[in-house]
Structures are given as structure tokens and as C-alpha cells.
Amino acid sequence: MRIVWNADNGRYADNPRALYEAWTAHGQDGVDHLWLASSRQAATFPPGVATVPIGTPQAVAALEAADVLVSNTHIQLDRWRKRPGATYLQTWHGTPLKRIHRDAAYQPPDDVMAELDDDIGRWDLLVTPSTEGTRLLRAAFAYPGRVLETGYPRNDVLFAADREARSARVRAELGLPHGTMAVLYAPTYRDDEAAGRVGGLDAPLGLDAEALARRLGDNAAVLLRLHHYMYRQSRPANGRQVQDVSAYPNISDLYLAADVLVTDYSSAMFDFAITGKPILVFAYDLEHYRDRLRGFTLDLETEAPGPVLLDQEALTAALLDLPVVAAAQAERYARFVERFCALEDGRASERVLQALWSGSLPPG
């Protein structure tokens, strides 16, 4: 059996990584695994993991020879054709808070949308994190096919028996003393800032991380986890209280290490909510993003798991009074978790793999 894996167009990450590691932990014989790797990310793959450069004829040949394809995003390689009998498992990469594909206010050119629709037409199975996630993803992609409603494999680590040890290890790696409040800032990208996916050159960060760290004091640190589309985005130099963790291998480990998440319109809030730790929504460009760029799948100001804060002063005040702010959001947070995270229990990878191995797939 030949399996080709793809995450974020050439990274070793996300749901495909979790499924790959769960699969290989079983040590099955007669299975060849091959990852698509971008030139910027090739060195970050673990030793022994076979890769092929994405965007090359070799990558197209690998896709067309595969028995199983696993991806968390569209595979946009010219002229590739799925082999008859092959299974294309699409995990996607998050519950959509921002509107995506045909649902979004911003639309790429028609030829790009046609290419994306062609890819959707190849999908045999779509992994979803919740019943609500199924509804949103089906609608956005006009996808009528089979669904595995299992929870997200990438979140299994948040339930791992060694999660406390993982948290301690990451905090030690980042030099965070005991008692330091770790503030994880994980925003999404803006289509008008990442146009052409050139890395967000000169795009504003949205947050003055150094000023925030000064206001929070010596017992706090701000961890910047910028979107991989924004790899050239301007950011402050690393220091004791502000660190760029955008290249950290697994964001789930950062979720375990952080004390609070600050995000905007990222699906990170759905994953982080599993931890039960506070979430603050820093929506400094709310009207632009909601009304002109993307739009939302829920009423952010009434349904998000934390307060929606429109400027840095309000964000700072919330962080300085975090226990009180979190307590005030507890009921809304619980409703959010029940709606979007009820399937998450640390066994999503097992459920997906069992469905593939046993052939007990939902009807098409």
C-alpha cells in the first residue's frame, strides 16, 4: 500500500501528522509512506520520514500512484489525476469560524476557484471535528460525499497521559519560569495582506507585543504564533518576554504550555477551548474582516468563548484581570465547547484509522 501525506502544502503538521504518527506506531508491514514537502519545510521533517518536493513531476507521479491520499488542504498540482480505486481522505485544518470557499466574501479568481472545486470533486472522505463542523464544511464546499465525524486527530495530544509533562517540557524549552503567565498570540492571516501567499511582507502584526509584555510585567511572556502564510511578516526581536514561536513544530504543545490564548478569527479557538483555559478574541479589524473580507459562521460577539476586544488597551485590561474575565465568560465558554468540541476525547485518530482499515465507512 502506498500512502501520500500532505499538510499545509508541504509541512509536517496538523491532522495528517497526527494520523501518520498513529498509523506508523502500529508498525504495519507492506505500507510505504511519502510526504509532500516544500523547500522551506523539508529540513523540519523528522529523520527517516520519506519526502518528495511538492510542485514537482515527482510529486504528481506519487499522487497518481497512491492507494491513499491524506491532506488537510486542497492539493493544487497541475494535471494530477487520482488513480481509480484510490481513497482521498481530506481532514481539512479547522472548524471554520471565518467563512471559506464559496461562503467567503472575498473570492479568488474564477480559475482558482475552479481548481479548488476540482480538488473537492476528488475527495472520498471528509474528517470533521463535530456535528456543527460537518454542517459548516459541507455547506462551504458543497460537498455531498462521505464524512467521518470523529473529532480532530491533531487534538488527541491534548488528552495524552503525558500532557502535563509535555507542558513542562515546552515551558522549560522556552525559558518560562514557574508562575509565568504564558500568553499565546495566534492570529489568522488576512487575504489582502497575504495576496499571492508571498509571506505577508510588511503586513502589520496587529499587536504591539513588546508594549503588551511591559504592561503585563515580569511574570508574563507573550508567545507569537503567526500563520504560516505570513512567514515574512514583521515581528519584534526575541527577548525574555516576547518570543516568536511560529516555527515551533507542533502548536498543540504550545496549547498545553500556554495559560491563555489571544486570537482573532482563527480556528485555534476551537482547539484551545478543549483545554478549558481562557480565550480572548482580539478583533482589532472586526468590521473590515467581517463585512468586507471574509465574514463569520457565527455571531462572534455573542457566541465566541471569550470576550471580543477591539483595541490593545481593552486586551491588556482583560489580561491583567484574567480570572475575573474568565469567570464572567464561563457559561458562554461551556456552550461553545458543547457545540463544537463534544467529540474530542483523545481517540479521534483511532476512529479515523479504524474506519479506513476495517472498511466500515459511512455511505456515500
What per-residue confidence (pLDDT) applies to 362? 53
What per-residue confidence (pLDDT) applies to 360? 54
Sheet containing 308-309: order of strands: 242-244, 220-224, 181-185, 260-263, 279-282, 308-309
Sequence letter at residue 184: L
Strands 32-37 and 87-90: unpaired
What distances in angstroms separate CA 86 from CA 79, 123, 325, 356, one per listed residue?
17, 10, 50, 12
C-alpha cell at 151: 473529532
Query: pLDDT digits over 311-324, tens only?
Result: 999 999 999 999 99
What per-residue confidence (pLDDT) applies to 131? 98
Q: Where are the domains of the chain?
A: 2-151+345-358, 156-340
Q: What average pLDDT does this structure show over 178-201?
A: 80
Calpha distance 138→142 (Å, rounded): 5
Query: pLDDT digits over 25-49, tens only?
Result: 988 788 999 999 999 999 999 999 9
Sequence letter at residue 55: G
Q: Tell me the angle at which helices 312-320 and 209-216 cross, rounded to the nearest 10 degrees.
A: 30
Closest C-alpha among 169, 179, 117 to residue 143: 117
Calpha distance 71→100 (Å, rounded): 17
Calpha distance 234→298 (Å, rounded): 30
Band (197; pLDDT cuts 50, 70, 90): very low
Sequence letter at residue 194: A
Q: What average pLDDT does this structure show over 63-77?
A: 95
Q: What average pLDDT does this structure show over 79-89?
A: 93
**CATH code for residues 2-151+345-358:** 3.40.50.11820
According to the per-residue pLDDT averaged within each range, which of 135-139, 195-199, 227-231 is highest?
Answer: 135-139
Query: pLDDT digits over 87-131, tens only?
Result: 999 999 999 999 999 888 878 889 989 999 999 999 999 999 999
Query: pLDDT digits over 254-283, tens only?
Result: 999 999 999 999 999 999 999 999 999 999
What per-residue confidence (pLDDT) applies to 154? 98
Q: What average pLDDT does this structure show over 12-16?
A: 97
Please state whether the predicted TM-score (pTM) of the whole model is above 0.85: yes
**Looking at domain 156-340, which of 3.30.450.20, 3.40.50.12580, 3.40.50.720, 2.40.128.280 is its CATH number?**
3.40.50.12580
What per-residue confidence (pLDDT) applies to 16? 98
What distances in angstroms separate CA 237 from CA 55, 242, 286, one per listed residue?
33, 8, 27
Q: What average pLDDT does this structure show over 155-164?
A: 97
Please state which of the ranges 62-66, 204-208, 325-329 shows the lowest mean pLDDT: 204-208
Q: Is 299 exposed, middle or buried (0-12, 13-18, 19+ CB in 10 A)?
A: exposed
What per-residue confidence (pLDDT) applies to 199? 54
Helix boundaries (H) for 238-304: 251-257, 268-272, 286-288, 300-303
Percent pLDDT > 70 in the chain is: 96
What per-residue confidence (pLDDT) applies to 364? 45
Q: List 35's β-bridge partners, or say none.
A: 5, 51
Q: What average pLDDT does this structure show over 160-164?
A: 96
pLDDT at 140 over 90: yes
What distances in angstroms separate CA 270 from CA 32, 81, 151, 276, 299, one per listed residue?
33, 34, 11, 11, 15
Helix boundaries (H) for the chain: 14-25, 57-65, 110-122, 131-141, 163-173, 209-216, 251-257, 268-272, 286-288, 300-303, 312-320, 322-328, 330-340, 348-358
Q: What average pLDDT does this structure show over 236-253?
A: 92
Q: List 34's β-bridge partners, or say none.
A: 4
